[in-house]
Every structure is written in C-alpha cells, then in structure tokens.
Structure 1
Amino acid sequence: MSLDTIITAITEILNSSPHSVEILPGSVEQWQTGSTPFLFVDSNLGIPQKLLYQLYPHALKLFKNLRLSASPSSYTSLLEASSIILLTNPAHQTALHERKRLALSGHWSVEQELDFTALLLASGRDASKQSIVWDHRRYLLQTGFSTLPGSDLKPIPPEILRKELDLILRSCESYPRNYYGWSHWDLCMEILHTYSMAKDEYYPVIIEAFTWLLQWIEQHLSDYSAVHHICRLVHRFHGMDRLRDVRNLSFTGISEQAVSLVSKYPDHEALWMYLRIVWTIGDDRLRDSLEASITHLPDCKYRERCVSWCKQSG
C-alpha cells in the first residue's frame, strides 16, 4: 500500500466513529495480521507507532502543500493529513488550527471534530497530557453549543456532557493526575450547574458524575485531584431539592467515605487530604463529628498532622 492509501484508510476508520484508537508500541511487522499495516478489530483501531513515524513526514509535506490550496477538493485531504500529524504529534498547533478553521467554515462539523479529538485524547498518555488539545476541545464546545441559557446557539445536550466526563476519566487513566483533564471537568460542572437550575434532564448527569467520582477515589487512592473535585461537586450541588435524596451526595456522605478509606489505607496522604477538605467545607456539626472520628483512626504521621491542622484551623 502507498503512503497516501494508508493515510486515507486510517482516516476513513477514524471518521467512522470507532470505539477506540490506540498507538501500539513497536513496528508494523510485530502487529500486521492481514493486508493492512494496522489493526482494526471489533471497531478498535490499533496503529503501530513506527508506522506513524513513517507516515508523519509524508503527512507534513501534504499538509504544507494543501494549506496553500483553496479548492474544496483539498479539504478532505487536509483533514486526512492533519489526523496523522496529530496522532503522531498531538501538540501540533498548526494542524489543530486548520481543523478548527475547517469546522468553523462548514467544511467539517464541530461534532465531527469533537469525535476526532475524543479519540485523540483517549489514544494514549502523550495526547491526554497536552493542554493545547484540551483547549481546542473546550473551544469547540463553546463555539458549537451554548454553555449558558439564553444564547442563540443550541443548548449543550446532557449526553454531550456525559461523554465529556467519561472522556476525562479515561484520559486520567492513561495520564494520572491530569491537571488539564480535571480543569475540563470543572468547566463541565459549571455548565451542569447553570443548566440544572432550569432543566431537569441534566440531573442524571450530575448523579452519574458523583457516582463515578466515588468509584474513582476507591480505585485511585493517591489521586489528590479526584478528592478535590468530589468535594467541589458536593459543595456546588448538595442544596438542590431534586438531589436531596441521592445517596451520599452530601457532606456527611463523603465524610463517611473519607473516614472509611483512611481507616483501611492510612498510608495514603491523599486520603487524609480528603478528610481535611471535607472538614473545611462542612459545618460545625460535621467538623465535630470528623474530629471525633479522626482520633480513632490508625496512628501514623498523617493522623498527627491532620489533628494538628484541625486544631489550628478551628
């Protein structure tokens, strides 16, 4: 297969909304099982890293030439070349800019670009840690949808926000403590808070987000960012009438989780920070309850620091 044919074949799969894209370590020979130099099994695309390195210089050359052309026939090829460039080098600012330009000019839709960047961010550690890709995605959301009620743009659907939150957690699996991913989470929470004040269909997404964070903390005991964001979520939403009956979506609920986890895993400093954050945002009654619980937790250096901190802060 020629390089042009391989690039077209890969981007056709990318545009068909596959379940996932993964950059595979090693060479084509290690992975090739059929007539194509990449894998596509059960709607999952695997591209050998060395194949991307072979395609990259050719894609750059195509990209440079196509940017100078204004013909409609060049738009598809420009998208194809930029897809390969970004899979190889996710921080390529010019490629992201051109895709943004094509989406805004109507030659490519915002929804299609959101689908592509979701695949890109979930493709591996290198992509998920790039602030420029998250900025690109945030721009698309704010351009293609209204993030505030009353705008002339169509409201951002609950399902889009659900997909954003799922994408963030998947990207944090490949790149732990992903600051840019968690910042994007905070943006989604702000949008949810704004829309949930007026529309009931956003409440299930809030509940799912809370449930996901509870489970995430149970499975990622050292993730400071997650404990910070679950406390922010509860602080932001706990007073809403429609959420009062949601199990554990309260200061008491997260304090019980924090105490339970610290009692089982006292050597994880992030869990002690969880306790301290809950103590900070809680009322006097919750603080008294937490202080009593802390004195019965396993004796370690973090407990002494926590006790001392509570006394000084109180």
Structure 2
Amino acid sequence: MAANESKPSLLVGVLSKLLHSSELASIEILPGALKDWAIVDLPPEAPKPSSHFPFVFVEGNLGIPQKVLHALYLAAVSLPWRSSGADDAIASSSVIILLNPAHQTALNARKSLMKEGHLDPEKELVLMELISRGSPECAKQSIVWDHRRWCLNRIYGMMGPVNTAHPLQFWASSEEMQLFPKIGPAVVQRELALTQHTCETYPRNYHSWAYWHFIIDVCYASICSSNNNERQQEFLRIVTAECIRIRRWIEQHVSDYSAMHQLFQSLTLLNRLRTIGVLIDEINGDLTTSMLINHALSLVTTYPSHESLWMYLRVALSGATTTELVEISDKLERQNLPSPYFKQQLFKWFSVSTEVHSCI
C-alpha cells in the first residue's frame, strides 16, 4: 500500500527530468488516460507507456495523458517542496506550472531557484516556451509573460539610460525603458515568433499581443539608445517586417481587434522615427497613415458585418483631416453595405470629428 501511495510522487521526479531534458522538443497534453495510450503503436526505440512511465515520448516529443497529469499535479502540490531541497522544488514546481501555469507560488519559487543558481534562466525560457506552445491555457496567462520578462532581465541585464526626446503615446517612457532587458535582434526574433504562435493557438489573445507590444517597445528603446546606425537599421527592419506581417494577419483574422490596435500604435512609433530621420524609405514598407486608412476601408467594404473592422477604420481615421473624413464618408454613403448600424455609428463619430476639426 505504501509503495502504491508513493508512486505518484516518484513519477513527479520522472516527469521533471523529462521536462528539463536537453532532448525535449515539444510538449503536448493528450486527451484521456494512460490506458488510452498504452495500446498505441510506437516506434521500437520509444519507451512503451506503462504505470512506471505513463508518458508518450517519441524523438523528443513528450505527450502526457491528461488524467496522468492531473494525478501528478495533486501529488506535486501535496509534497512539502517549499521546505525541501532544490531538486524537489524544481520537480514539483515544474509539474505544477505544466497544468496550472498561473500558479504564482510555483513561479516565484523558480525565480528564487534561478537567483540561487539551481536553475538556468536560459533553460527556463526554453521550458516556458515549450509549455506555451503546447498549452493554450499557458499562453493566455499574463503572469507567464511577466515570468518571461523577468528571465530576460536576469539573463541580459537592464538597458540602462535611454535618450528619447519626447514621450510617445502608447509607448514606454525613458524611465520605463531603462528597466527593459538588453536583448539583441536574434532574441527579439525568437520572442516575436513565440507570440505569433500563441496568437494562432489562442485567438484574440490579449496577453500575447501585450507581450508583442513590449518586444516592439524594446526594439524602439534599442533604436533610441544605439549610436550604431547598422544596429538601428537592424531593429527597424524587424519592426517594419512585423507591421507588414500584422497587416496580412488582420486580413486573415478580421475579428482580432487586438492586432488592429497594435498595428495602429506601431505606426505612431514609425511616424516618430520617420520624423526624426531614423526611418529611411528603403525599409519604410509603405507603412503610413494613408496605408492604414485604405487598408481598413478595403476590409470594411469586404467584410462589413465585422464590428472590429469598423472600429479599426475609426482608429485609422483618428488622424485624418476634415476633407479626408468627408471624402470617406461620401464613399461609404454611396455603397449599399449590409451593416447599417455600424455605418451609422461611424457617421455619428464623423459628424463629431468634423465639428472638432472645424473648431481647431
């Protein structure tokens, strides 16, 4: 009996070793129980799922039956890992965050383990990325993205003084930028690739988009803090490429207002860089206010039943002149779009905006 009772706690350690293995390439929580996967045909070299190894592990790809993970989670939280040694704390906390990534106590324990040198923050980033890619639940938790930011600061240090002439609406101040991680273009690309994946797996993922905004903000701070023109242009190419990608993303995800909002905010950043002479035509990518208006207008006329696109158009027009507002209002009026309510709401906003413009 005692041996049977101790088995889940032993399996917590087995799973932890798999999660921290350098061979690990992906993580997936599988539906069902061990019995559903014990009968699956696997390659001869792969271990057969059993009560001693209730996992599917093939060529670095780890599958954990959901009922097995629930049992191991209960075992992990019941162990005295907070008052135990580093190995027990690493094992229990890794199993806990796999099922409950918003478990603040477990994440804080892992921060302490990194500070004490028991956990490598680079490997922690890899593990958290694998969990984020394998679990939609993980990607929608703000605390997971905060943990990722903390790890980046731990590895790369803080950026230090950043010289920005004037604060830019929607973006960090000079004081806030000093606390950003000092990461290079390769790390930026990796982080952006992760946000792209998590936005795909969990549609309209606000926290993933907020992290995307943070990484673009890091690019902006890097541009402002660097005296190396080549390095500035490298970060600029990343930002413009992301804006072009998001423009395509919006065309394929016409209900994702978070993406539309981020594109608009990013154009304000590019407009500032264009004004101060940092953004050159070679990498401009036609990312202008006029482009944004035309893009939103074309999508509204193609998919008029999506309220998010009407909101996108309204945001795009926030910097338009009275003449531009009247021209677009006339163009929409002439089109017999099957969403009169959204159009009427936009026209009400038009009338208020033109009155404001005429008073300026």
Bin the TM-score by the shorter chain. 0.7 to 0.9
Is the Cα–Cα contact under 8 Å of residues 149 and 195 in structure 1 kept in the other structure? no
Once structures 1 and 2 are overlaid, which stretch shifts more, 223-232 or 103-112? 103-112
1:78 is matched by which residue type in structure 2? A
Which residue of structure 2 lines up, in the alignment, with residue 35 of structure 1? 48
- Per the TM alignment, residue 231 of structure 1 is displaced from its structure 2 partner at its CA by 0.4
**Alpha-carbon separation, structure 2, partners of 1:3 and 1:168:** 34
Which residue of structure 2 lines up, in the alignment, with residue 305 of structure 1? 345
Is 1:21 aligned to residue 27 of structure 2? Answer: yes
Q: 1:231 aligns with which of 261, 264, 270?
A: 264
Q: SS of the counterpart of 1:22?
A: strand
Is 1:67 aligned to residue 82 of structure 2? Answer: yes
Q: 1:203 aligns with which of 222, 230, 236?
A: 236
Which residue of structure 2 lines up, in the alignment, with residue 91 of structure 1? 102
**Alpha-carbon separation, structure 2, partners of 1:298 and 1:131:** 42
Is the Cα–Cα contact under 8 Å of residues 270 and 279 in structure 2 kept in the other structure? no
Is 1:183 aligned to residue 220 of structure 2? Answer: no
Is 1:119 aligned to residue 146 of structure 2? Answer: no
Q: SS of the counterpart of 2:182?
A: coil
Is the Cα–Cα contact under 8 Å of residues 114 and 137 in structure 1 kept in the other structure? yes
Q: SS of the counterpart of 1:233?
A: helix
Which residue of structure 2 lines up, in the alignment, with residue 55 of structure 1? 72
Is the Cα–Cα contact under 8 Å of residues 48 and 56 in structure 2 kept in the other structure? no
Is the Cα–Cα contact under 8 Å of residues 104 and 110 in structure 1 kept in the other structure? no
- Per the TM alignment, residue 4 of structure 1 is displaced from its structure 2 partner at its CA by 5.2
Q: Residue by residue, what CA displacement relative to the aligned partner does 1:60-92 show, whole Å, maximum 9, x if unpaired? A: 233x2x4323xxxx3233212211111122221
Q: How many residues align?
A: 308
- Per the TM alignment, residue 25 of structure 1 is displaced from its structure 2 partner at its CA by 2.0
Which residue of structure 1 lines up, in the alignment, with residue 142 of structure 2? 131
Is the Cα–Cα contact under 8 Å of residues 101 and 144 in structure 2 kept in the other structure? yes
**Alpha-carbon separation, structure 2, partners of 1:281 and 1:28:** 58
**Alpha-carbon separation, structure 1, partners of 2:331 and 2:62:** 50
Q: 1:157 aligns with which of 184, 191, 194?
A: 184
CA change 1:13–1:210 in 2 (3 A) is farther
- Per the TM alignment, residue 182 of structure 1 is displaced from its structure 2 partner at its CA by 2.1
Q: Residue by residue, what CA displacement relative to the aligned partner does 1:216-274 show, whole Å, maximum 9, x if unpaired? A: 21221111111000000111113434353432322122222212211211111111111
- Per the TM alignment, residue 38 of structure 1 is displaced from its structure 2 partner at its CA by 2.2
Is the Cα–Cα contact under 8 Å of residues 266 and 298 in structure 1 kept in the other structure? no
Is the Cα–Cα contact under 8 Å of residues 159 and 181 in structure 2 kept in the other structure? no
- Per the TM alignment, residue 136 of structure 1 is displaced from its structure 2 partner at its CA by 1.9
Which residue of structure 1 lines up, in the alignment, with residue 292 of structure 2? 254
CA change 1:287–1:143 in 2 (3 A) is farther
Map 1:210-229 → 2, pairs under 5 A: 210-229=243-262
Is the Cα–Cα contact under 8 Å of residues 158 and 179 in structure 2 kept in the other structure? no
CA change 1:29–1:297 in 2 (3 A) is farther
Structure 1 spans left out of the alignment, 5+ residues: none
**Alpha-carbon separation, structure 2, partners of 1:244 and 1:145:** 32
- Per the TM alignment, residue 154 of structure 1 is displaced from its structure 2 partner at its CA by 7.5
**Alpha-carbon separation, structure 1, partners of 2:328 and 2:25:** 44
Q: TM-score, normalised by structure 2?
A: 0.76
Is the Cα–Cα contact under 8 Å of residues 128 and 171 in structure 1 kept in the other structure? yes
1:260 is matched by which residue type in structure 2? S
CA RMSD of aligned residues (A): 2.8
Is 1:11 aligned to residue 16 of structure 2? Answer: yes
CA change 1:112–1:98 in 2 (3 A) is same
Q: SS of the counterpart of 1:266?
A: coil
Is the Cα–Cα contact under 8 Å of residues 259 and 293 in structure 1 kept in the other structure? no
- Per the TM alignment, residue 285 of structure 1 is displaced from its structure 2 partner at its CA by 6.7
Is the Cα–Cα contact under 8 Å of residues 93 and 110 in structure 2 kept in the other structure? yes
**Alpha-carbon separation, structure 1, partners of 2:14 and 2:241:** 37
- Per the TM alignment, residue 177 of structure 1 is displaced from its structure 2 partner at its CA by 2.5
- Per the TM alignment, residue 40 of structure 1 is displaced from its structure 2 partner at its CA by 3.1
Q: SS of the counterpart of 1:195?
A: helix
Q: TM-score, normalised by structure 1?
A: 0.86
Is the Cα–Cα contact under 8 Å of residues 250 and 256 in structure 2 kept in the other structure? yes
CA change 1:153–1:305 in 2 (3 A) is closer
Larger radius of gyration: 2
- Per the TM alignment, residue 293 of structure 1 is displaced from its structure 2 partner at its CA by 4.3
Is the Cα–Cα contact under 8 Å of residues 30 and 63 in structure 2 kept in the other structure? yes
CA change 1:284–1:12 in 2 (3 A) is farther
CA change 1:44–1:207 in 2 (3 A) is farther
CA change 1:235–1:147 in 2 (3 A) is farther
CA change 1:202–1:297 in 2 (3 A) is farther
2:351 is matched by which residue type in structure 1? K
CA change 1:153–1:93 in 2 (3 A) is closer
